[in-house]
Amino acid sequence: MAVIGKDIKEAIEILKSGEVIGMPTETVYGLAGNAYNTEAITKIFTVKNRPTFDPLIVHTSSIERVHEFVSEIPEKAQLLAKHFMPGPLTLLLPKKDVISDLVTSGLDTVAVRIPNHPLALQLLENLDFPLAAPSANPFGYISPTSAQHVDNQLGDKIKYILDGGECKVGIESSIIGFFDGEIVVLRKGGLAIEEIEAIVGKVRIEEHSSSNPKAPGMLKSHYAPRTQLLFTGDLLLAHEDTKLIGYLGFDKFHTSIPQENQLLLSPAGDLNEAAKHLFAYMRLLDARGFDKIYTDLLPEKGLGRAINDRIKRATTQE
């Protein structure tokens, strides 16, 4: 398995050699490689078994350094960056040629993020290149929110995981694009829609795409446990052994399923706490050996929108 540690120098040397590492952020752990090195980018796709039509997010340490690989930052993008970077925000911006088409899946825009995590920022500040870093999990599976999650699923394929503790946000960043003057949320994430609109006004929300996505994380089926995840509306208790059923709830237990088979994202009904626990609790239930796991949607407000987005895609059957 991979070495888990906090050695920034070790991480830097591995990245400079063209290899990839596990990297902490405040949202989820990333599988990071030199965004300017085609071999490193190829390794990211290979290690994740990720299709090359699904673009990657490029991480750097400051908005000033973003100018090294994007040709323009629109005024509204600058405004969002001022308020939410570093933070769980990704901006889709026109790229310079230094970013290869492999990173962007042939698109002329690149997804850019400045993570709000001290260890990640320290790493990025000491590199002379940005890092491409999708979530550090096998493609389509639950995103990792701890170094151990990364080691459990990719530890036999990478050398090193930089351990930054548990992720504070727990779901991926919000992705925002700018098209003909319109601001479009391409992926709901760690920033609530209400927070974004408070800064730039009304935005359009684009739902996920089943092919040729405009930005990372837009595929229809994603973030799924190995155990089948279903909504409780599909629950037919008369025909099922409830001892073999798990339940992922928001703040209340399901009365028809054994309580020891259930996990609540936030007994206090806190959407931020629920977001932090979402992927970790999916993993815990997935490891229990249930035949099925049932769940319900959360209130469609604040981070509840992004949580519901992940739940819907985790329950999608292709």
pLDDT at 208 over 70: no
CATH code: domain of residue 171 = 3.90.870.10
Q: What is the value of pTM for the model shown?
A: 0.91
Annotated binding site: 27, 50, 59, 109, 113, 133, 135, 143, 173, 187, 223
Q: What percent of the chain has pLDDT over 70?
A: 93
Q: Tell whether 31 and 157 lie within a shared domain.
A: yes
Q: Tell whether 24 and 65 lie within a shared domain.
A: yes
Q: Quick check: is 221 in a domain?
A: no
CATH code: domain of residue 284 = 3.40.50.11030
Q: Quick check: is 64 in a domain?
A: yes
CB-based burial, 186-200: b 16+ in 10 Å, e otherwise: bbbbbbbbebbeeeb
Annotated binding site for L-threonine: 27, 113, 133, 173
pLDDT at 218 over 70: no
Q: What pLDDT, on a 0 to 100 scale, did the predictor assign at position 238?
A: 58
DSSP alpha helix (H) spans, 70-111: 75-84, 101-104
Domain count for the chain: 2
Q: What pLDDT, on a 0 to 100 scale, did the predictor assign at position 318?
A: 47
Q: Quick check: is 215 in a domain?
A: no
Cα(130)–Cα(128) distance, integer angstroms: 7
**Which residue range(s) make up the domain with 287?**
228-315
Q: Quick check: is 211 in a domain?
A: no
DSSP 147: H
Our measurement of the distance from residue 199's CA atom to the centroid of its chain's CA atoms, rounded to an integer in Å, reads 23
Q: Tell whether 67 and 189 lie within a shared domain.
A: yes
Q: Cα-Cα-Cα-Cα dihedral of 82, 23, 52, 70, to 10°?
A: 30
CB-based burial, 299-318: b 16+ in 10 Å, e otherwise: eeebbbbbbbbbbbbbbbee
Section 73-83 average pLDDT: 96
Q: Tell whether 298 and 172 lie within a shared domain.
A: no
Q: How confident is the model at residue 216 (pLDDT cuts 50, 70, 90)?
A: confident
pLDDT tens column, 128-150: 999 999 999 998 899 999 999 99
Annotated binding site for ATP: 50, 59, 109, 135, 143, 187, 223
Q: Tell whether 44 and 143 lie within a shared domain.
A: yes
Q: Quick check: is 157 in a domain?
A: yes
Q: Tell whether 64 and 179 lie within a shared domain.
A: yes
Q: What pLDDT, on a 0 to 100 scale, did the predictor assign at position 237?
A: 61
Q: Quick check: is 212 in a domain?
A: no
Domain boundary (154, 174, 205) is at: 205
DSSP 298: P
Asked if residue 220 lies in contact with residue 201, where contact means CB atoms within 8 angstroms, the answer is no
